[in-house]
Amino acid sequence: MKPHYRDLFDLTDKVALVTGGLGILGREFCRALAEFGANVVVCDLDGEGAARYAEELSDTTGSRCEGYACDVADEASVIELVDRVVSDFGGIDILHNNAASKSDDLAAFFAPSEDYALAEWQHIMRVNLDGVFLVSRTVGRQMIAQGRGGSIIHTGSIYGHLGADSRIYEGSEYLGVQINTPPVYAASKAGVAGLARYLATQWAVHGIRVNTLVPGGVESGQNAEFVKRYSERIPLRRMARHEDMVGPLIYLASDASRYVTGQELFIDGGLSAW
């Protein structure tokens, strides 16, 4: 009897670890993985918040979900997290590197390139790129030891591949602050995609696939002027919604993409096709 193709997307009994699990997209990613059957570890700096959200997911999806605290930029914290997940769940099958820094100083974060402070650059890089390396290295080592392969997914960005169009930021604000795409964000996300390609070729022999989700702009509290200007740049004429990212994530996490590795999956409404 031939298998049903829909079963390729089934994640029942898989263990999925999601960093940045309480973020703008992280909550949706965790919920989607749990709805498709995975046991989900919600990882975030806010351990108490992660535990509360994991309990909610367990109640609504029927999957086993736990929330743990972790600073992905701290090596000891990452090792402790992975050890705890393996002890509690028996292994890790899916890793989603979704954590990214939210600067405490928005003025420093959105400073122009010619005035960008090295301290701010290093602070963002520690999470956005160093953290992705630390978690990937530690989980990858565990996946190799398990001997059953796995899927590692990074959250990248369209601005890791395209230059920012400053015209869309005229009159645009986020949380009351004039915004742009900071140089450190673009550089860190380009690094994430490069790291994914490298690890994909190194770990393919172990059956571990490594890919990158590449979102375009997602509606997340920007003012109306920004939404208008950004949408006018997009062939589909709108910004992305949170749920637009879910299907691509499930595809990369599941056996539906079992022959896909080292790739960047663009979810940008066609922006990169202009």
Active site positions, annotated = 185
- Report the distance separating Cα 136 and Cα 178, nearest Å: 34
- Written as one letter, the residue type at 155 is T
Nearest of 273, 272, 214 to residue 244 by alpha carbon? 214
Measure the CA angle with vertex 57, ends 54 and 62; round to 5°: 120
Nearest of 30, 104, 35 to residue 63 by alpha carbon? 35
- Report the distance separating Cα 74 and Cα 72, nearest Å: 5
Distances (CA, A) of 95 to 39, 127, 169, 255: 12, 16, 33, 14
Coil/strand/helix, residue 218: strand
Please check whether residue 158 is in contact with residue 271, taking contact to mean a CB–CB distance below 8 angstroms: yes
In the block, which residue shows the tokens 């393919």? Answer: 204
In the block, which residue shows the tokens 């899927």? Answer: 151
Please check whether residue 184 is in contact with residue 236, taking contact to mean a CB–CB distance below 8 angstroms: no
